[in-house]
A and B are shown apart, each in its own frame.
Chain A
Amino acid sequence: MAILKTENLTKRFGGLVAVNQVDLAIEESKLTSIIGPNGAGKTTFFNLLSGLMHPDEGRITFEEIDITGYPSHRITKQGIARSFQLLSIFNELTLFENIRMAVQAEKGHGLKMLSSIRSLGDVNDRAWEIVQAIGLEGKENITAKNLSYGDRRILDIGIGLASDPKLLLLDEPTSGLASRETGKMAEFIQGLAGNLTLVLIEHDMSIVLSISDHIAVLHQGRVIAEGTPAEIQQNEEVQEAYLGGL
């Protein structure tokens, strides 16, 4: 069953059509990858899904609810969270506090002015669970900007997980990682895939082909092909547009 659907989704920047009439259905509990050359509109597509940008045309439905035009905080409440290609974490806060802030939002305690954060037992417990789940325990008191790049990548995803999403959008989680870390990240993503619906933007084709259930290829803002990894590998149009000699 499709958990998220886009119909005719279009976003223009002046004369450039970054996302062009995209119809896409994301299957529940599956890992869908979106691939395509630089400038194909992948990140813009994510920005539309997560409410950071609003489409010029088209509709987004999530669990049968029309969420087109929702601001990002409402989309998160509906159950869509994301990570960022250009890391977006709270650099000045500790690792634990980064996670805690997201859990606090999810549990709806943000407006409490007269209580102490210590009193939010449910938040602290859940934040601690997330820290363990992303394998960064022992580093919880390190200020985020002092973490290694690989750990910050994981943290960026951890903040997304802390929103307790049904659908998690991962925007190039291996970007900038060394090859050893890339393998670890692929394993980490596979570990998540069992429990929630994932959409992954990724350049590393070996990862995409090995962990995806479904692949959509974006080229110049349009979906030019969809299918299983095997089907995509054999698609001629895709090979021309993107895979080249692969």
Chain B
Amino acid sequence: MKRSILRATRHPIPWVFLFFLVLPYLLPLVGGYTYLGVEVLIWSIFALGFNILLGYTGLPSFGHGAFFGIGAFALGIVQLRLVQGMWIPILAGTLAGAFFGALVGLFLAKKRGIYFALLTIAFSQMFWFVSWGWDSMTGGEDGLAGINRLPIGLPGLFGIDMENVLHFYYFVYFLFILCTLLIWIIVHSPFGRTLQAIRYNEVRAGSIGYNIALYKWISFTLSCAFSGLAGSLYALLRNAAFSDVMHWTQSGNVIMMVLLGGGLTNFFGPILGSGVFIVLRDLFSAHTEHWLLIYGLLFMCVIIFIPEGILSLFKKKEPVEESLVSGKKR
């Protein structure tokens, strides 16, 4: 018992959760504000889910902004037209991301490398044009305004006001915990191991009996579900959904977050990357509209000097196999 508690304190996950638990109280100390914290959490969900595809399966999608945007619009459309509330619209956003991801994934599952990347760009542009042009559904240029953060609770008994940003922060924090745990379990499961095997040697993974196209398709669909969830939370945060949330630059942002933080070698890379990206954007954009120039330079330095991302500086080997085998030796 004591040993397992000790082991738990060495695991990074509780520390990450503790950090975000107190973050709203730390942010003002460094000139930040709670809204920024919510953004970091939302982008962390997006980037962690995206990393199932990029980091673990090794598939470079340059179009995941589209599924983020689909989540945002699906939430807006459902909340404004069908169901007043929070849970069902958020679920709708997540499922919409997964559904369109599954659809697009059918065309991508047998592609690799540059062909895969180019097709993801093409599809995301397609979705962006649709969101831009389909006035009656997406509001076109004006987007969907009037999305509400409605109270959460039991109707008639109590409700927690979500318009309060701090309350909304903890609501997103709760979902962030669920997503982080779920993604952690998935990437360490037999399925997650298979994705990594495909990344390391696709031909061999196929010839030991894995249906590569099926695994790629599932990986793509899963990552799109998390994109959809993150997008729907983003629409709630901004009280609106605009076409710009599915612009290709969003797809670039999430890639930069994953790479900067070290997502290719560390599970937590995407979280750190999201934090650094959002905080730097906030710091620099207060002084100059050309903040991306500074960020771009920083990004280049990271790619040149620590190509596996910031967290690769603290890389530690996970001794998983050892525990498997040592059990046999006894």
Contacts and interface: CB of A to CB of B under 8 A. Distances in A.
A162 B208 CA distance: 8
A159 to B, nearest CB: 6
Interface string A72-107: 110011000110100011111110110011101110
A114 B185 contact: yes
A242 interface: no
B207 interface: yes
B203 interface: yes
Nearest to B320: A117
B209 A102 contact: yes
Interface residues of B, number: 33
Contacts of A140: 321, 325
A163 interface: yes
B97 to A, nearest CB: 18
Interface in B191-240: 191-194, 196-197, 200-201, 203-212, 215, 218
Contact of B328 (A92, A105, A112, A124): A124
Contacts of A51: 207
A224 interface: no
Contacts of A77: 209
Interface in A108-132: 109-118, 120, 123-125, 128
Contacts of A102: 208-209
Contacts of B322: 141
B321 A97 contact: yes
A194 interface: no
Contacts of A76: 207-209
A88 B190 contact: no
B207 A72 contact: yes
B188 A110 contact: no
Nearest to B214: A111
B190 A163 contact: no
Contacts of B288: none
Nearest to B185: A114
Given A96-B324, A113-B186, A104 B204 contact: no
A52 B202 CA distance: 12
Nearest to B199: A92
Contacts of A94: 321
Given A109-B190, A112-B190, A141-B325, A73 B204 contact: no
A71 interface: yes
A104 B197 CA distance: 12
Contacts of B320: 117
B190 A110 contact: yes
A10 interface: no
Interface in A50-86: 50-52, 71-73, 76-77, 81-82, 84
Contacts of A105: 194, 208-210
B189 A163 contact: no
Interface string B53-67: 000000000000000
B4 interface: no
A120 B186 CA distance: 15
Contact of A110 (B203, B204, B215): B215
A89 B201 contact: yes
A139 B200 CA distance: 20
A163 to B, nearest CB: 6
A117 B189 contact: yes
A120 to B, nearest CB: 6
A128 B209 contact: no
A244 B192 CA distance: 52
A106 B208 CA distance: 8
B321 A96 contact: yes
Interface in B275-330: 320-325, 327-328
A96 B325 contact: yes
Interface in A144-201: 159, 162-163
Contacts of B211: 71, 73
Contact of B324 (A88, A91, A115, A124): A124
Contacts of B328: 124-125, 128
B215 to A, nearest CB: 7
B191 A113 contact: yes
Nearest to A97: B321
A114 B189 contact: yes
Nearest to A92: B200
A120 B316 CA distance: 25
A227 to B, nearest CB: 30
Query: Nearest 8 A-B pairs (CB), nearest first?
Result: A105-B209, A76-B209, A102-B208, A113-B191, A88-B204, A112-B190, A72-B206, A110-B194
Interface of B: 185-186, 188-194, 196-197, 200-201, 203-212, 215, 218, 320-325, 327-328
Given A72-B203, A73-B206, A89-B201, 11 more contacts: A71-B211, A76-B209, A89-B204, A93-B200, A105-B208, A109-B190, A110-B191, A117-B324, A124-B328, A141-B325, A163-B208
